[in-house]
A and B are shown apart, each in its own frame.
Chain A
């Protein structure tokens, strides 16, 4: 198997004994900040069996407020402790005037914002002594001040910061539905060399005001449209490490592994086509 799954506390024991192990695991960095606890022990044991990536959700790198150094130090400590192959965060902001909203909030696609985010990514990379990946965000609003497309914004971020990209296919699909993102133009703008990981996840549909929105809730299986988009992404960019994310209403491990197996089939076809 080549695809990985997000490690959730419900599977801490089962992942150690499964007969069909995933290729790798991804853990939310903030869940493993502490010195002790059952989660920490579980990740240490899982780390001895699987390659690992650490995926952060709390730095809010695009925030105009300064980076929380305590948080960054915790990220550094987790990286030292678990030695992940990949470290990632999001193209988002999360705090202003000292208040954290503990969410992934969207940035305007402006020259000022990309310059600011690139500076912050460089700061983090310098502090950690390694490259990080930045994930494209799912969003429900866009800003009047945006001057760049989302693809142009991410391409400029890569160029100015030297970061890699984590391409979340579901997020792109959600943005196409919610905000009219042109997927062809989006993928065409992304620098192939920078993309090092793919995320796949489920979403929900909810009526908000006058329209139905797709909510990126990571609470269900990957839908057929996103699988089709994933096929397109593999054709464009070639086989890439792919992760199944499922954070809410977490199913039995077997369900997650079956989703990873579906990704694997597509990765194998992609490898075969490239051979």
Chain B
């Protein structure tokens, strides 16, 4: 297939040379010749450092804002090293800085595999869930009384619509405890990383991110409800009981996480 003619061929070549110069410590002579000509190449080479530094700082700052607890736990020097490595593989692909950190948890999981620091990737997943939760739409919650409009024998066939800001994160490590212990500057984080798994729910409540810790069984049940399963089917699939379901529903309605109750037609 024939490619359409490039109406901005010289402009593309110039921007490609400029882009390469933003990645290298020193712009190469061929690119400088193209960009600045022979007379001003030295001056250009010095000044392009302003843009190089900007590009790095914007990227770093975006990650720092998204992953403040991770930054605090690993320290700024290692965080910068991770950022350099991540940026080399996952440069920014959007004009909106929000998305810069989207691939970071998965990348970090790969980077930390086998190092004994795998929990850092799960902590990053929790922090990205917070970021996504803040950006999500809000819907008016409904109360527990919304179940009252249905006959009791209909309850197993009801499904819940949940806040779009709700995200579930589970980890074999105590990431909720790590996150929680790093929410204040004066906190002294002392978390036993061998304390076992924690199951988290992230949601925006009253415009603030809330991170809850649930029991594993409740987390599993909530996950099934998030997937659209009816109360009856989810309870059966999670092998839990009516008492646990009632407790979970009381909590979810009470926290404003439920936005809709709908009747599900059995398949």
Contact = CB atoms under 8 A, between A and B. Distances in A.
24 contacts: A33-B98, A34-B98, A34-B135, A37-B134, A64-B15, A68-B95, A71-B94, A71-B96, A74-B96, A99-B19, A100-B93, A101-B22, A102-B62, A102-B95, A103-B51, A107-B11, A141-B47, A142-B40, A143-B35, A144-B37, A206-B50, A209-B47, A211-B43, A213-B47
Given A71-B96, A102-B58, A64 B11 contact: yes
A242 B59 CA distance: 31
Interface string B1-32: 00000111011101110110010000000000
A108 B11 contact: yes
A213 B95 contact: no
A99 B12 contact: no
A176 B172 CA distance: 59
Nearest to B61: A102
A38 interface: yes
B50 A213 contact: yes
Interface of B: 6-8, 10-12, 14-16, 18-19, 22, 34-37, 39-40, 42-44, 46-51, 54-55, 58-59, 62, 91-98, 100, 134-138, 164-165, 204, 207
A206 B178 CA distance: 40
- 4 tightest CB-CB pairs across the interface, nearest first? A209-B46, A58-B95, A144-B37, A35-B137
Interface size class of A (residues with CB under 8 A): 35 or more
B15 A63 contact: yes
Given A96-B18, A141-B47, A144-B35, A113 B94 contact: no
A144 B161 CA distance: 60
A101 B18 CA distance: 11
A215 B47 CA distance: 11
Contacts of B165: 36
Given A33-B98, A38-B207, A96 B16 contact: yes
A17 interface: no
A140 B40 CA distance: 13
A12 to B, nearest CB: 11
A97 B16 contact: yes
B14 A143 contact: yes
